[in-house]
A and B are shown apart, each in its own frame.
Chain A
């Protein structure tokens, strides 16, 4: 089943994935296979029909085209990344989570003749392969992009979502997860992370303003940061290079605040520079939030000439680093109303962690809570980038799998 699908995948447009997947799944005894992908905000699951929204009609009933995440069995499978059985017309059906790495793409729905571990493993393998397949094709598929949007996107959001890495990553050393709202109307927020041997680079940026220029400034900041670190610059140098390029392009009319951090996963040493941004939050082994002291330098692009300080903090396994933008803690509905607040934000993270909720799902709920607090209208971008340090070994993945809700993982 899998080798046939893999061989066929090289010359398969996104539009043919559902049909081909269904045909190959039948060799393994799974019938009625449907592929569902989640929308940008993780609120609904949409049937991949082969034509995107407005594409050729599928054989599915209209009611099956979209399933909400809240309050459904499909949603439970998505939120907890576990197989959820449902009684189907033709026998036992499963919702099977479809993950690329730890990024939740959506679900498969299929009818299975057997209800045993072997069948579950087969279903999970099929879901894994389909996830990889979809990820390789989605970045150049307009029909996919249209399918996963529930509202029109502005140009800045179009640029940022293409720029940033997947919202979840994990290996044996770290679990990284991010969330950003308003997903369709981003202006100047962006995050980035990358692995470089034992070092994990993490950065978050907030460009001033609420327009396309803010989006351009954020793009420039991420591009300059990547370019500079790939040429071997240290954090101070990277932030100075970002500043130079911002001044070159925007001549003091735009600035970007940010945190640039490196976590050495071999030792747990965290180093960072603060360029006019909210200080990072460190949550010690699930409790005791603190904001380690670190004098901020001026925002990148303001050219105020303050010294840029490299700060250090020793982390212990299980400690979590949280980078965020002011939209999370300080956004207000209107002048005078209450902000969501750092305390409530921290409390939410600690409680959900104690509940054992997977990190990506915690952030999805957190950002939903921030949105709800503001009646669904954020005045500013709100972004969180969370990184938990598990330990030095990339191969010991049991904990990473638990924290991301990944199931069926060989340990």
Chain B
């Protein structure tokens, strides 16, 4: 089985805010790496903006690290936000109730999916 890969590239930083681009999969294999590097970056700068446009896959372990990083940042007066969120990740965040926490538009929307109910 192929192991997934996640790359982190610091794109810009001004001392309090770092923009970091993630590329690859946020899953069980890469979660420890994301947690470790995220904690290290938060030590450098309290506000972390994660550009997740090149994240190809995310599972519960990936989401869990996001929640943990956000909690860690908030404990020290910082923040973790996402930017350029691809559709598949928006869907996942909305399914898991985390959309209201991580997505900029806040509220999230929950359209009824699938075919309409049969008329009775």
The chain A residues found within 8 Å of chain B, CB to CB, are 206, 208-210, 252-255, 257, 274-279, 281, 284-285, 287-299, 302, 304, 306, 316, 326, 330, 332, 334-336, 346, 377, 379-380
Contacts and interface: CB of A to CB of B under 8 A. Distances in A.
30 contacts: A208-B61, A208-B63, A209-B64, A252-B67, A252-B71, A255-B64, A274-B97, A276-B96, A278-B95, A279-B95, A279-B113, A284-B117, A285-B118, A288-B114, A288-B115, A289-B114, A290-B112, A290-B113, A291-B114, A293-B110, A293-B112, A295-B108, A297-B97, A298-B97, A298-B98, A302-B98, A306-B101, A326-B59, A326-B60, A330-B59
Contact of A287 (B25, B110, B118): B118
A296 B97 contact: yes
Main secondary structure of the interface of A (DSSP, over half): loop
A52 to B, nearest CB: 33
Contacts of B114: 281, 288-291, 346
A131 to B, nearest CB: 38
Contacts, number: 101
B67 A255 contact: yes
B113 to A, nearest CB: 5
Given A298-B98, A335-B57, 5 more contacts: A209-B64, A290-B117, A293-B112, A296-B96, A304-B98
Nearest to A252: B71
Task: Please classify how large the interface on chain B is, using the bins under 10, 10 to 19, 20 to 34, 35 or more.
Answer: 20 to 34
Contacts of A332: 57
B4 interface: yes
Nearest to A331: B59
Contact of B67 (A289, A302, A326): A302
A279 B97 CA distance: 11
A299 B96 contact: yes
Interface in B87-102: 94-98, 100-101
B75 to A, nearest CB: 10
A284 B108 CA distance: 27
B16 interface: no
B68 interface: yes
A302 B63 CA distance: 10
B77 interface: no
A291 B96 CA distance: 15
A210 B28 contact: yes
Given A298-B101, A306-B101, A336-B56, A257 B117 contact: no
A209 B4 contact: no
Interface string B8-35: 0000000000000000010010000000
Contacts of B2: 334-335
A289 B115 contact: yes
Contacts of A257: 60, 96
A210 B59 CA distance: 11
Contacts of B59: 326, 330, 380
Nearest to B94: A296
Nearest to B67: A302
B1 A252 contact: no
Given A252-B68, A326-B59, A276 B113 contact: no
Contacts of B56: 335-336
A276 B97 contact: yes
Contacts of A290: 112-117
A291 B100 contact: no
Given A278-B95, A288-B118, A295-B110, A334 B101 contact: no
Given A287-B118, A294-B110, A377-B1, A209 B61 contact: yes
A347 to B, nearest CB: 12
A208 B95 contact: no
Contacts of A278: 95
A379 B14 CA distance: 40
Contact of B112 (A254, A255, A285, A291): A291
A335 B28 CA distance: 12
Contacts of B115: 288-290
Contacts of B98: 276, 298-299, 302, 304
Contacts of B68: 252-253
Counting from the closest, the 5 A-B pairs by CB-CB distance are A296-B97, A276-B96, A276-B97, A290-B114, A208-B60
A278 to B, nearest CB: 6
A206 B96 CA distance: 11
A276 B28 contact: no
Contacts of B60: 206, 208-209, 255, 257, 326
Contacts of A210: 28, 61
A346 to B, nearest CB: 8
Nearest to B64: A208
Contact of A209 (B28, B94, B112, B120): B28
Contacts of A335: 2, 4, 25, 56-57
A61 to B, nearest CB: 40
Nearest to A339: B57
